[in-house]
Amino acid sequence: MTRQDLYNQIQLKKSFLCLGLDPDLEKMPEQLIASSEEPLFDFCKAIVDEVQHLCVAVKINTAFFEAYGETGYASLSKLIHYIKSHYPDLFTIADAKRGDIGNTSLRYAKAFYEAMPFDSITIAPYMGKDSVEPFLTYKDKHAILLALTSNHGAADFQVAKNAETPLFKEVLTTSLNYENADRLMYVVGATKAEYLKEIRTLVPDAFLLIPGVGAQGGSLKDVFENGANKQIGLLVNSSRGILYASKGEDYVAAAAKVAASLQNQMQKLLI
């Protein structure tokens, strides 16, 4: 899926919403867990089916599947294949935060781009060029580098005040020299919206994956006004706010209501 394809979907759906799938058995409706043989898959499938017309991307947090071993991996594989076969216009993200020496990264790329047909994967860039470039060898696939994250610990390294140039700026500027750098996207937390204008001067054309709107308190309006480019260039993720809008039998309808509210806000910003 190309950046132009993604922009076309944003225009069509009047949305730049990314649905985050973090299925937590401790937060899911008890009646679903009791009645389902595959609760991770069934929970996610039901919500995707209901909100797919409101979003342009789906981000699957692989840890919430990996935690359950063999059955979790089976549900993860089943879910991504279901999404790609039923909703091929959704941009899919493996939120796996991989990154290792070159030959290992190549195997991770093979796992998430071939065995499980994701369009993209989140990457920790700490090990540098040879750990990132293997993910950029696949045409129309994308690596999403962690640049400036929304968690409190981001201040430890990413924006350390004793550094002449903050690490997140080094990540952005250095990565532009990687081979096939046009296939890069970046994670920038919504709680760091004050940095977005500066980030846009460094990566004016890249798509930014923006977590932190909703449960973490980030402002959608601030993100859009400071971070949008000519192709919008934003994928604003909401996970917990949508998934756990209700723990009752109405969980699907409640999730759709929250997603529709976000899409409506986005539509107004896009006008």
With H, G, I as helix, E, B as strand and everything else as coil, classify residue 153.
Answer: coil
Which pair of tokens denotes residue 239? 């996970």
Beta 120-123 vs 17-21: how paired, if at all?
unpaired
Distance CA 257, CA 102 (A): 43
Catalytic residue among 14, 78, 84, 97: 97
CATH number of 3-270: 3.20.20.70
Domain boundaries, the chain: 3-270
User: How many of the other CB atoms lie within 10 Å of CB of 246?
Assistant: 15
Q: pLDDT tens for the chain, 271 residues: list them.
A: 899 999 999 999 999 999 999 999 999 999 999 999 999 999 999 999 999 999 999 999 999 999 999 999 999 999 999 999 999 999 999 999 999 999 999 999 999 999 999 999 999 999 999 999 999 999 999 999 999 988 888 888 888 666 678 889 999 999 999 999 999 999 998 777 788 999 999 999 999 999 977 555 668 998 999 999 999 999 999 999 999 999 999 999 999 999 999 999 999 999 8
Residue at token pair 């006004």: 225
Backbone angles phi, psi at 70, to 5 degrees: -60, -45
Single pTM value for the model: 0.95
Q: Are 240 and 213 in contact (CB under 8 A)?
A: no
SS3 200: helix
Active site residue 141: no
